[in-house]
Amino acid sequence: MQSSDLDTFKAWFTGYSQTFHTDDAEDNKNIDLKVRHTSLVRENAVLIAGEEHPGDNNVLIAETAALFHDVGRFAQYATYKTFRDNISVNHGRLGAEILREKEVLASVALHEQELIINTVQFHNAFQVPSFEDQQNVLFLQLIRDADKLDIWRIFAEYYESPEYDQASAVGLGLPDRPDYSQKVLSCLHKEILASLSDLKTLNDFKLMQLSWVYDLSFRHSFRLLAERNLIREIASTLPQTEEIAGALAVVEEFVSEKSGLKRH
Ligand SMILES: [Fe+2]
């Protein structure tokens, strides 16, 4: 693909996302949050692809997949007024359908269209599905890393902002109580992803987000995570108990080892 294709896609995305603005300030805050998220995931994807999967074409494909990864969010919000897939629709699958139906990617090679659409469709799957084509796996891992890095930023800001300033569709509606579940905490020690279905409180949700480090794929993603101090920012809003500190130490050790920043 050419960089002029990407310019056309960016213009399409801007026009498309703007059609979801309403005269309701709350709706617009939620829509704008996804527009800003998209642009920062694009930046992350370019940074990671530039380091890990270089080549002009690869970087263009990565940026296009990032541009469209959440394209399903707008129609999801318009219909259901939420970003929670479990009570509405799978926004990855919806995004892939929109790209196919509207033939947004028609100007680029067919196999590139498929790479981009598959990445959009599965970017939010619990785990990366298996693909015969290794390129599919690479781009999917790349966008999932780029996406997580920005989701951590959104939540670090969200947990610290006064309630009136929070975009309403961000939270999962879990109760903000002082307790947390041992099952979720234990995932941090086991170095595995925590499941949505085990979450009972907002603290569980924060712990689950910390467990996402175990799903990051690229060294450069770990570096960006460490540089931006996001783990510590989210952790600072958790109860300061000894067992949380212990689990956090495991997470931080994992990040510093994977980023290659650990001193021996
Ligand atoms: Fe998404």
| 222 Cα to the center of ligand 1, angstroms | 20
| 247 Cα to the center of ligand 1, angstroms | 27
Q: What percent of the chain has pLDDT over 70?
A: 95
CB 141 within 8 A of CB 66: no
pLDDT tens-digit map of 202-258: 999 999 999 999 999 999 999 999 999 999 999 999 999 999 999 999 999 999 999
Distance of CA 141 to the CA centre of its chain: 11
Report the pLDDT value the prediction gives residue 215, as an integer from 0 to 100. 94
Report the pLDDT value the prediction gives residue 126, as an integer from 0 to 100. 85
Average pLDDT, the chain: 93
| 92 Cα to the center of ligand 1, angstroms | 6
Rounded CA-CA distance 102/106 in Å is 9
| 242 Cα to the center of ligand 1, angstroms | 33
User: Which 3-state string (H, E, C) describes the chain?
Assistant: CCHHHHHHHHHHHHHHHHCCCCCCHHHHHHHHHHHHHHHHHHHHHHHHHHHHCCCHHHHHHHHHHHHHCCCHHHHHHHHHCCCCHHHCCCHHHHHHHHHHHCCCCCCCCHHHHHHHHHHHHHCCCCCCCCCCCHHHHHHHHHHHHHHHHHHHHHHHHHHHCCHHHCCCCCCCCCCCCCCCCHHHHHHHHHCCCCCHHHCCCHHHHHHHHHHHHHHCCCHHHHHHHHHHCHHHHHHCCCCCCHHHHHHHHHHHHHHHHHCCCCCC
Determine the residue type at 177: R
| 170 Cα to the center of ligand 1, angstroms | 12
CB 125 within 8 A of CB 143: no
Report the pLDDT value the prediction gives residue 168, as an integer from 0 to 100. 59
| 29 Cα to the center of ligand 1, angstroms | 17
| 248 Cα to the center of ligand 1, angstroms | 26
| 144 Cα to the center of ligand 1, angstroms | 9
The CA R_g of the chain, rounded to the nearest whole Å, is 18
Region of poorest pLDDT, from 73-87, 97-111, 116-130, 164-178: 164-178
pTM of the full predicted structure?
A: 0.93
The mean pLDDT of 27-33, rounded to a whole number, is: 94
Report the pLDDT value the prediction gives residue 176, as an integer from 0 to 100. 86
CB 240 within 8 A of CB 264: no
| 80 Cα to the center of ligand 1, angstroms | 16
| 135 Cα to the center of ligand 1, angstroms | 20
| 227 Cα to the center of ligand 1, angstroms | 23
| 165 Cα to the center of ligand 1, angstroms | 22
Cβ neighbours of 14 (radius 10 Å): 10
> Would you say residue 67 has pLDDT above 50?
yes
| 78 Cα to the center of ligand 1, angstroms | 16
Report the pLDDT value the prediction gives residue 44, as an integer from 0 to 100. 98
Q: What percent of the chain has pLDDT over 90?
A: 84
Structure tokens, 253: 């050790």
Single out the residue of 161, 162, 184, 169 nearest to residue 30, CA to CA: 169
| 262 Cα to the center of ligand 1, angstroms | 31
CB 234 within 8 A of CB 210: yes
- pLDDT tier at 262, thresholds 50, 70, 90: low
| 24 Cα to the center of ligand 1, angstroms | 23
Structure tokens, 255: 């990040």
- pLDDT tier at 263, thresholds 50, 70, 90: low
Q: How many CA atoms lie within 13 A of 58 on its CB side?
A: 15
| 241 Cα to the center of ligand 1, angstroms | 32
- pLDDT tier at 264, thresholds 50, 70, 90: very low
Selected residue with higher pLDDT from 262 and 260: 260
| 34 Cα to the center of ligand 1, angstroms | 9
Report the pLDDT value the prediction gives residue 170, as an integer from 0 to 100. 62
